[in-house]
């Protein structure tokens, strides 16, 4: 009897399908239920000439850890590629985020050309480069 | 009474019924719709999975700190992988079970989605992307080959049109993926998008693998076309098939045409938003969403062109698939030129949508035509080569647009490159049209030779010797029905007819036949499937498998109104009148098959009133207010106005007083004298034996001929009816 016969094929296939479906579902639900520790707000943008100033609020949602996050900002085109990017710095605080506390970060982007502003710029984004728990 | 006996001349005679030549529009029945739906969904999932990762570039870039070069590598690696693996999948599709190839490939692609979701850096993303590109071609070339064997040759364009909707629908899933990523993170989107891949893989595993080339054999009416595995005589190993493809002029014309089309449309897809922003001052979001009109145009295009090409092919234009595709592409050019020239945004978008409609409309007929000119054992390879060529053209196109735009400007680039669509169309209308008929005929000949060789017949018979008609010589179905003579076989025949109401099967491989002329009764208890069988013959229901032949022609998929035009009229059970309409309107309703012959309809109405005298004074009365017997007279009268060749009557005597039944039976005797054939479904053995020439017995979905009515004993038959034995 052939080892890789139709019955074996069917069993292996069914096993992979069931396992795959289950894994996809479990991992999907687990990932979806994860909450980011540092919650980042919508970027607020002010444009003067070809300089964009971006301000964002970051909130520490943890119960006990103090974070000193490194926050990035970028202007992206519709393909998701950066037209310009940089790092935002704390606006008025020292950047230490106590549990449940929020802080404003601000940064500027100066490398975007006028043509890019007109034709390519899709959105401004802010993101956590490093959560960086404070020492 | 038989057809050879004297037929009484009457204005109600079927021979006086004008039956014009008309176009038969078959529904996709008798063939399962499920494989088409499933393969279309798989195509849709394939397209959405293909673009899922690029749509998440911003998120991946932030999480893994990827450079734009890295993102470009991810995009490019997929393309390389697809290009490399499409051709081998084409070979596999020609040699092994296609349903299993798709099932295993789709499973692997589900696993790849999970793997990508688990990525912890660029390397894993790259491997996942390349693996996805590796499995991606398990679907498209294989599915096209499968569809060619699942669905009739004369519906290929329509089927390819529906399949093409999958590609357009795939893009619709991307915004959903975007929303999911925002809400739950990009990883969960990959995990959740893996689930449908596993589900469709399981479903496609259960699909029955059709016999390769069976529809081509059925189309040539080669016996056993649907079931017999035929060993091909063509050389299908090594590079020989590819040499054959390169020598196939019509295939090459379609390949070049599709490549030229992709070379143009690939760039348009990428650059059109920039064009709208640059020349129409649109916002980026507005420009991107405006491109949705292109998708709408494309959707209309694929659905209309498939149907149109099949319609024309059946209407004495055997090369219509090539013609429709070619003209559609050429017609797109003026609209593209307008879209790129005029300053008015609304008109520009409208022109763009119409242009896209024409350009995309070329795809289904071309795919169908490509199948026509390729031997069933070469279709996977043919489609795969075409896919590779198109994907390379689509990849190169935006770069070419970009270079030209830098040299001139974007508008000039669009205008300069628009004629590529015309090149695509003209290639079909010149080289394609010149060689399509010959190449399609060569495939039909090869299929025929394979078939007869497998049966042990010597080669070399001419078409005439084995009775094969070329599509361009073939009469239309309505002509063939008219040309039929009783010596050609039974007037009505069902072969292995199965019918189920959902999970409940009612007809089990019904085989029965009746000759022209006379009354044939079908008796049986309640609920054994008599009405279901009659409804299948009348076209009100469509059997899941099996066939119904009327005057030698397959009625599969022909809607009831067209069956009536062919000469079949069904008188349904119960009081089948329109109760709110007058008696006159009810009767005249029967005249619609010969619309335009008002005089004949009026003469028939007069004759009917002679036969059914009680209706004379009630012409303006609402039918619903008549007695049961009178309503049955109206129903029968309406059926007779249609001048049927074959009259199907369901339970003539149901709920009627014996005297009324007797009157109606007298009318049936008269109808038989006109030359009409009657198939009467009856529960009353007395009624059946009184009027029928032959009797069939039906029980639990199976029909058995009992022979001439005069030889049957009513008491024994009644006993059998009660016991329900076949």
User: Based on the domain organization, do A29 and A48 belong to the same domain?
Assistant: no
Average pLDDT over residues B2-17: 63
Would you call A89 an interface residue with chain B, using a CB distance cutoff of 8 Å?
A: no
User: Based on the domain organization, do A54 and A9 belong to the same domain?
Assistant: no
> How near does any CA of chain B get to the CA of A102, in Å?
21
Q: For residue A19, is it within any domain?
A: yes
pLDDT above 80: residue B192: yes
Alpha helices (runs of H) in chain A, residue ranges in sequence order: 6-33, 114-119
Q: For residue B366, is it within any domain?
A: yes
- Residue scoring higher pLDDT (B220 or B694): B694
Tell me if residue B284 falls in helix, strand or coil: helix
Average pLDDT over residues A96-116: 90
User: Based on the domain organization, do B18 and B40 belong to the same domain?
Assistant: no
Alpha-carbon gap, residue B505 to B507, rounded angstroms: 6
Alpha-carbon gap, residue B633 to B614, rounded angstroms: 9
Q: Which residues of B are less than 8 Å from A31 in CB distance?
A: 117, 184-185, 187-188, 191
User: Based on the domain organization, do A11 and A52 belong to the same domain?
Assistant: no
Q: CB–CB of B9/B133 below 8 Å?
A: no
Would you call A27 an interface residue with chain B, using a CB distance cutoff of 8 Å?
A: yes
From chain B residues 136-155, the ones with a CB under 8 A of any chain A CB are: none
Q: Which residues of B are less than 8 Å from A121 in CB distance?
A: 284
Q: What angle do CA B581, B585, B586 make, to 5 degrees?
A: 75
Determine how β-strand B545-550 pairs with β-strand B492-501: antiparallel
Residues 6+ apart with CB under 8 A from A99: A60, A62, A63, A64, A65, A66
Of A20, A79, A121, the CB nearest to B194: A20
Say what the pLDDT of residue B101 is: 95
pLDDT above 80: residue B650: yes
Of A16, A32, A121, the CB nearest to B185: A32
User: In the structure encoding, which two tokens stand for residue B427, read together?
Assistant: 């290639």
Say what the pLDDT of residue B24 is: 65
Alpha helices (runs of H) in B455-516, residue ranges in sequence order: 477-483
Q: What percent of chain B stands above pLDDT 90?
A: 35
Would you call B58 an interface residue with chain A, using a CB distance cutoff of 8 Å?
A: yes
User: Based on the domain organization, do A114 and A88 belong to the same domain?
Assistant: yes
User: Based on the domain organization, do A30 and A67 belong to the same domain?
Assistant: no
What global pTM score does this model have?
0.71
Ramachandran region, residue B476 (left: φ > 0; alpha: ψ -120 to 50; beta: rest):
beta
Mean per-residue pLDDT over chain B, rounded: 85
Say what the pLDDT of residue B725 is: 58
Alpha-carbon gap, residue B414 to A115, rounded angstroms: 20
Q: For residue B614, is it within any domain?
A: yes
Q: Which of B403-412, B458-467, B471-480, B660-669 has the highest mean pLDDT?
A: B403-412
- Phi and psi for B43 in degrees, rounded to 5? -60, -40
Q: For residue B461, is it within any domain?
A: no
Whether residue A13 and residue B103 make contact (CB cut-off 8 A), yes or no, is yes
Q: Is the dihedral of CA B584, B590, B594, B595 positive or negative?
A: positive
Q: Which residues of A are less than 8 Å from B185 in CB distance?
A: 31-32, 34
Instruction: Please provide the DSSP assignment of A36-69 as one string.
Output: -SEEE---EEEEETTEEEEEEEEEE--SS--B--
Would you call A86 an interface residue with chain B, using a CB distance cutoff of 8 Å?
A: no
Say what the pLDDT of residue B424 is: 94
Say what the pLDDT of residue B469 is: 40
Q: CB–CB of B159/B36 below 8 Å?
A: yes
User: Based on the domain organization, do A42 and A106 belong to the same domain?
Assistant: yes
Q: Which residues of A are less than 8 Å from B285 in CB distance?
A: 122
pLDDT above 90: residue B500: no
Alpha-carbon gap, residue B47 to B76, rounded angstroms: 16
Average pLDDT over residues B46-62: 81
Say what the pLDDT of residue B44 is: 93
Q: For residue A23, is it within any domain?
A: yes
Please give the C-alpha separations between residue B427 and each of A52, B80, B391, B420, B435, in angstroms, as whole numbers.
Answer: 51, 28, 19, 10, 11
User: Based on the domain organization, do A86 and A25 belong to the same domain?
Assistant: no
Alpha-carbon gap, residue B261 to B419, rounded angstroms: 10
Q: Which residues of A are less than 8 Å from B135 in CB distance?
A: none
B223 confidence band (pLDDT: 50, 70, 90):
low
User: In the structure encoding, which two tokens stand for residue B122, read together?
Assistant: 């660029």
Closest-CA residue to B561 (of B585, B590, B583): B590
The domain in which residue A61 lies consists of 38-130
User: Based on the domain organization, do B164 and B75 belong to the same domain?
Assistant: yes
User: Based on the domain organization, do B548 and B694 belong to the same domain?
Assistant: yes
CATH classification of the domain holding B313:
1.20.1250.20
User: Based on the domain organization, do B274 and B198 belong to the same domain?
Assistant: no
> How near does any CA of chain A get to the CA of B165, in Å?
25
> How near does any CA of chain A get to the CA of B157, in Å?
33
Q: For residue A47, is it within any domain?
A: yes
Looking at B436, B467, B500, the residue that finishes a domain is B436
User: Based on the domain organization, do A68 and A45 belong to the same domain?
Assistant: yes
Q: Which residues of A are less than 8 Å from B113 in CB distance?
A: 24
User: Based on the domain organization, do A48 and A104 belong to the same domain?
Assistant: yes
Alpha-carbon gap, residue B263 to B254, rounded angstroms: 14
User: Based on the domain organization, do A50 and A25 belong to the same domain?
Assistant: no
User: Based on the domain organization, do B396 and B432 belong to the same domain?
Assistant: yes
> How near does any CA of chain B get to the CA of A93, in Å?
25
B229 confidence band (pLDDT: 50, 70, 90):
low
Whether residue B117 and residue A31 make contact (CB cut-off 8 A), yes or no, is yes
Alpha-carbon gap, residue B9 to B15, rounded angstroms: 9
Range with lowest mean pLDDT among B101-110, B203-212, B222-231, B674-683: B222-231
Whether residue A32 and residue B113 make contact (CB cut-off 8 A), yes or no, is no
Would you call A13 an interface residue with chain B, using a CB distance cutoff of 8 Å?
A: yes
Average pLDDT over residues B51-69: 79
Reported as type and span, the H/E element at residue B679 is strand B677-682
**Number of structural domains in chain A:** 2
Alpha-carbon gap, residue B688 to B653, rounded angstroms: 10
How far is CA A69 from its chain centroid? Answer: 13
In total, the C-beta contacts within 8 angstroms joining chain A to chain B are 98
**Number of structural domains in chain B:** 3
CATH classification of the domain holding A90:
2.60.40
User: Based on the domain organization, do A103 and A48 belong to the same domain?
Assistant: yes
Tell me if residue A113 falls in helix, strand or coil: coil
Q: For residue A105, is it within any domain?
A: yes
Q: CB–CB of B598/B646 below 8 Å?
A: no
Q: What is the per-residue pLDDT across B458-480, written as a single tens digit (0 to 9) for each?
A: 554 444 443 334 444 456 677 77
User: Based on the domain organization, do B18 and B74 belong to the same domain?
Assistant: no
Strands of B400-515 (E only): list them.
492-501, 504-514
Q: For residue A42, is it within any domain?
A: yes
User: Based on the domain organization, do B492 and B607 belong to the same domain?
Assistant: yes
Q: Which residue in this structure is represented by tokens 């990849």?
A: B395
Range with lowest mean pLDDT among B143-152, B199-208, B252-261, B493-502: B493-502
Alpha helices (runs of H) in B185-283, residue ranges in sequence order: 186-205, 214-219, 240-247, 249-280
CATH classification of the domain holding B638:
3.40.50.300
- Phi and psi for A126 in degrees, rounded to 5? -130, 145
Q: Which residues of B are less than 8 Å from A10 in CB distance?
A: 205
User: Based on the domain organization, do B506 and B361 belong to the same domain?
Assistant: no
Determine how β-strand A102-109 pairs with β-strand A82-90: antiparallel
Nearest CA in chain B to A13: B104
Q: CB–CB of B297/B336 below 8 Å?
A: no
How far is CA B598 from its chain centroid? Answer: 35
pLDDT above 90: residue B656: no
Q: Which of A17-31, B14-28, B589-603 has the highest mean pLDDT?
A: A17-31
Would you call A120 an interface residue with chain B, using a CB distance cutoff of 8 Å?
A: yes
Please state, as a whole number, how many other Cβ atoms lie within 10 Å of the Cβ of residue B554.
17
Whether residue A80 and residue B61 make contact (CB cut-off 8 A), yes or no, is yes
The domain in which residue B109 lies consists of 28-210
User: Based on the domain organization, do B59 and B106 belong to the same domain?
Assistant: yes
Burial of B491 (0-12, 13-18, 19+ CB in 10 A): buried
Q: For residue B616, is it within any domain?
A: yes
Alpha-carbon gap, residue B631 to B660, rounded angstroms: 11
Average pLDDT over residues B388-402: 89
Mutate which: A19, A21, A28, vs B, most B CBs within 10 A: A28
- Residue scoring higher pLDDT (B4 or B284): B284
Instruction: Please provide the DSSP assignment of A100-130 as one string.
Output: T-EEEEEEEE----HHHHHHTEEEEEEEEEE
User: Based on the domain organization, do A103 and A120 belong to the same domain?
Assistant: yes
Alpha-carbon gap, residue A76 to A121, rounded angstroms: 6
Would you call B76 an interface residue with chain A, using a CB distance cutoff of 8 Å?
A: no
Say what the pLDDT of residue B38 is: 95
Whether residue B65 and residue A129 make contact (CB cut-off 8 A), yes or no, is yes
User: Based on the domain organization, do B631 and B695 belong to the same domain?
Assistant: yes
Of B103, B191, B273, the CB nearest to A78: B273
User: Based on the domain organization, do B308 and B343 belong to the same domain?
Assistant: yes
User: Based on the domain organization, do B203 and B286 belong to the same domain?
Assistant: no
């Amino acid at each position: 009897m052939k080892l890789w016969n139709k019955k074996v094929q069917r069993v292996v296939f069914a096993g992979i399908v069931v396992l795959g479906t289950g894994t996809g579902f479990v991992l999907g639900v687990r990932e979806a239920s994860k909450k980011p520790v540092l919650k980042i707000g919508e970027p607020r943008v002010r444009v003067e000439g070809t300089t964009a100033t971006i301000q964002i609020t970051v909130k520490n949602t943890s119960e006990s850890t103090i974070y000193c996050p490194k926050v990035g900002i970028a202007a992206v085109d519709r393909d998701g590629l950066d037209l310009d990017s940089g790092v935002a710095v704390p606006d008025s605080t020292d950047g230490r985020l106590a549990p449940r506390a929020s802080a404003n970060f601000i940064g500027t982007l100066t490398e975007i050309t006028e043509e890019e502003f007109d034709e390519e710029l899709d959105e401004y984004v802010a993101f956590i480069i490093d959560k960086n728990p404070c020492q | 009474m038989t057809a050879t006996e004297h037929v009484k001349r009457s204005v109600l005679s079927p021979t006086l019924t004008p039956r014009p030549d008309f176009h038969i529009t078959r529904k996709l029945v008798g063939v399962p719709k499920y494989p088409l739906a499933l393969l279309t969904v798989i195509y849709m999932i394939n397209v959405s999975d293909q673009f899922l990762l690029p749509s998440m570039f911003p998120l991946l870039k932030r999480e893994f700190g990827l450079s734009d070069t890295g993102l470009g590598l991810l995009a490019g690696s997929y393309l390389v992988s697809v290009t490399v693996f499409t051709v081998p999948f084409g070979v596999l599709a020609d040699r092994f079970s296609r349903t299993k190839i798709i099932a295993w490939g789709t499973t692997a692609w589900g696993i790849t989605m999970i793997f990508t979701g688990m990525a912890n850096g660029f390397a894993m993303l790259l491997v996942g992307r390349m693996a996805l590109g590796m499995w991606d071609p398990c679907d498209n070339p294989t599915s096209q080959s499968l569809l060619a064997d699942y669905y009739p040759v004369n519906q290929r364009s329509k089927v390819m049109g529906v399949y093409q909707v999958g590609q357009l629908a795939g893009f619709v899933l991307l915004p959903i993926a975007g929303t999911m990523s925002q809400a739950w993170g990009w990883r969960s989107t990959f995990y959740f998008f893996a689930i449908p891949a596993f589900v469709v893989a399981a479903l496609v595993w259960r699909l029955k693998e059709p016999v390769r080339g069976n529809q081509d054999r059925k189309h040539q009416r080669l016996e056993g076309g649907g079931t017999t595995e035929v060993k091909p005589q063509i050389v299908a190993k090594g590079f020989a098939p590819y040499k054959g493809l390169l020598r196939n002029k019509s295939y090459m014309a379609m390949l070049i045409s599709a490549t030229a089309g992709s070379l143009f449309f690939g760039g348009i897809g990428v650059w059109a938003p920039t064009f709208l922003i640059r020349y129409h001052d649109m916002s980026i979001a507005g420009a991107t969403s405006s491109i949705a009109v292109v998708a709408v145009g494309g959707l209309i295009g694929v659905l209309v062109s498939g149907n149109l090409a099949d319609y024309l092919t059946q209407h004495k234009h055997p090369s219509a698939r090539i013609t429709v595709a070619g003209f559609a592409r050429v017609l797109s050019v003026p609209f593209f030129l307008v879209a790129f020239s005029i300053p008015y945004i609304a008109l520009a978008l409208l022109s763009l949508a119409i242009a896209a409609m024409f350009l995309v409309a070329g795809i289904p007929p071309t795919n169908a035509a490509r199948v026509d000119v390729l031997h069933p054992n070469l279709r996977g390879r043919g489609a795969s080569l075409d896919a590779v060529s198109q994907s390379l053209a689509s990849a190169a196109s935006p770069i070419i647009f970009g270079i030209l735009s830098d040299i001139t400007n974007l508008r000039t680039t669009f205008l300069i490159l628009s004629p590529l669509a015309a090149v695509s169309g003209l290639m079909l209308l010149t080289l394609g049209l010149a060689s399509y008929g010959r190449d399609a005929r060569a495939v039909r000949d090869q299929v025929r030779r394979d078939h007869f060789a497998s049966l042990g017949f010597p080669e070399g018979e001419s078409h005439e010797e084995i009775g094969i008609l070329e599509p361009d010589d073939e009469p239309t179905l309505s002509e063939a029905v008219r040309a039929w003579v009783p010596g050609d076989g039974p007037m009505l025949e069902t072969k292995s007819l199965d019918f189920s109401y959902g999970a409940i099967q009612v007809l089990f491989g019904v085989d029965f036949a009746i000759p022209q002329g006379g009354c044939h009764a079908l008796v049986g208890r309640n609920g054994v499937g008599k009405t279901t069988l009659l409804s299948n013959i009348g076209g009100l229901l469509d059997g899941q498998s099996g066939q119904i032949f009327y005057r030698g022609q397959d009625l599969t998929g022909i809607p009831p109104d067209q069956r009536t035009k062919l000469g079949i009229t069904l008188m349904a059970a119960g009081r089948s009148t329109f109760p709110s309409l007058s008696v006159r309107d009810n009767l005249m309703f029967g005249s619609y098959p010969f619309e335009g012959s008002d005089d004949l309809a009026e003469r028939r109405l007069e004759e009917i009133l002679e036969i059914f005298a009680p209706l004379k004074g009630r012409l303006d009365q609402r039918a619903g207010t008549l007695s049961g017997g009178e309503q049955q007279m109206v129903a029968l009268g309406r059926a007779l106005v249609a001048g049927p060749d074959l009259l199907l009557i369901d339970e003539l005597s149901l709920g009627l007083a014996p005297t009324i039944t007797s009157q109606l039976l007298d009318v049936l005797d008269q109808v038989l004298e006109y030359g009409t054939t009657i198939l009467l479904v009856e529960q009353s053995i007395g009624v059946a034996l009184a009027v029928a020439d032959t009797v069939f017995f039906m029980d639990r979905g199976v029909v058995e001929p009992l022979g001439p009515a005069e030889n049957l004993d009513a008491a024994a038959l009644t006993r059998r009816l009660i016991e329900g034995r076949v």
